[in-house]
Amino acid sequence: MTKLHDLAALGQAIWFDYIRRTLITSGELQSLIDQGVRGVTSNPTIFEKAIAGSVDYDDDLKELVKRGNSIDEIYEKLAMWDIAHTADLFRPVYDETRGLDGYVSLEVSPTLAYETGKTISEARRLFRTLDRPNVMIKVPATPQGVPAIETLIGDGINVNVTLLFSVRNYEDVAWAYVAGLEKLAEKNGNLGKVASVASFFVSRVDSTVDAALEKIGNTELQGKIAIANAKIAYEIFHQVFSGPRWQRLADRGAQVQRLLWASTGTKNRNYPDTLYLDELIGPHTVNTVPPATLQAYLDHGRVQATLDEGIDKARDQIDRIARLGIDLDAITDKLQEDGVASFAQSFESLMSSIGEKSKEF
């Protein structure tokens, strides 16, 4: 038993924010599952580092080139192999937890982030092609992504909503999930077979707000706002997933859409390396962590419910930065735009790298 099993007993699952071919084939991922890791998340930047930054995929890439596959086809076959085999490794977790955990996430192309119809079509195709109940399709929480989320949940497709930074945006996403379940119920679909998480990004908020605070000479609130923001989102979670509207869905077997804390590696070296794990522990949540942060947490992280603590203090901290003239909504909107652009750049860079490698064969 490890701290990850203790966290699961408190209602929080730890997922692994990393994927790479040798992780799957070497037995290392199975070892992480044995230690209590209960899912995997991926994104275009992770795949760029895995495929373009290693030789793990070169043999398969060479074979795909020989068969005449296009660059897009090569990327998809490489990524889909990883996702499918990771899902198979986690299938026992999915079965043991009755569909609560054991998921692996694959992102819709970030180039579609502002196109609702194409996002829906691509998510349907990916989910159908992978044909595994423990796959989640990642869809960004852009204004165009939110209606796609509702439609996909209504189709019975598992969705990992990504690039959430603001409480306002999170609330829209949570209600989109509820509305999607209601559509699924109208079709007499099995509500207990669809799952979703809302990936709420943490450390990037502190990085940006801290810089704004530094400009005005305020150090007291540095390193506080990301956690405060997350705690207020958790309060909204409790409001959405309670009351008669939600209860009607719960009575038909619906699961809550858990909040997933993302971007939880500490970027400021002055902060504890387990800060965004220790302070965000609570029921009905997931924390997806990069490799170094996972090892740090296993070594010296705390196991204690903390999310419900200090809600009034969190509200006060958010109010105080507003009084200081820092517009958190503007910051979080920009962070989402930048996140979409960053993932799109990683995706395009990956395609370029595959193209260059293909020429070698």
What does CATH list as the number for 3-360?
A: 3.20.20.70
Q: How far is CA 202 from the centre of its chain?
A: 11
In 3D, which of 344, 186, 207 has the Cα closest to residue 268?
207
Helix residue ranges, H only, the chain: 3-10, 21-25, 28-35, 44-47, 58-66, 71-96, 116-130, 145-154, 167-186, 203-215, 225-240, 243-250, 275-278, 291-300, 311-323, 328-360
**What pLDDT, on a 0 to 100 scale, did the predictor assign at position 357?**
84
CA distances from 149 to 26, 170, 188, 194, 281 (A): 35, 12, 19, 12, 26
Please, which residues have CB within 8 angstroms of residue 266's CB and are 6 or more apart in sequence?
Answer: 203, 272, 273, 274, 275, 276, 293
In 3D, which of 256, 253, 295 has the Cα closest to residue 273?
295
**What pLDDT, on a 0 to 100 scale, did the predictor assign at position 225?**
98
Q: Which residues of 127-164 are buried (b: 16+ CB within 10 A; e: fewer)?
A: beebebbbbbbbbbbbebbbbbbbbbbbbbbbbbbbbb
Residues serving a catalytic function are: 138
CA distances from 163 to 176, 337, 346 (A): 15, 9, 15
* Mean pLDDT, contiguous 10-residue spans, the chain (361 residues): 97 98 97 98 94 92 94 95 98 98 97 98 98 98 98 98 98 98 98 98 98 97 98 98 97 98 95 98 98 98 96 98 98 98 94 88 73
**What pLDDT, on a 0 to 100 scale, did the predictor assign at position 275?**
98
Q: Which residue carries 């019975």 as its tokens?
A: 156
Helix (H, G, I), strand (E, B) or coil at 259: strand
Structure tokens at 150: 């509702």
pTM above 0.85, yes or no: yes
**What pLDDT, on a 0 to 100 scale, did the predictor assign at position 42?**
95
C-beta of residue 151 within 8 angstroms of C-beta of residue 123 = no
Q: How far is CA 331 from the centre of its chain?
A: 20
- DSSP 8-state symbol, 15: E
Domain segments of the chain as ranges: 3-360
Structure tokens at 134: 């423990």
Residue 45 CA neighbour count, 13 Å, CB half: 9
Q: Which amino acid is at 188?
A: N
C-beta of residue 153 within 8 angstroms of C-beta of residue 183 = yes
C-beta of residue 29 within 8 angstroms of C-beta of residue 13 = no
d(CA 195, CA 177): 10
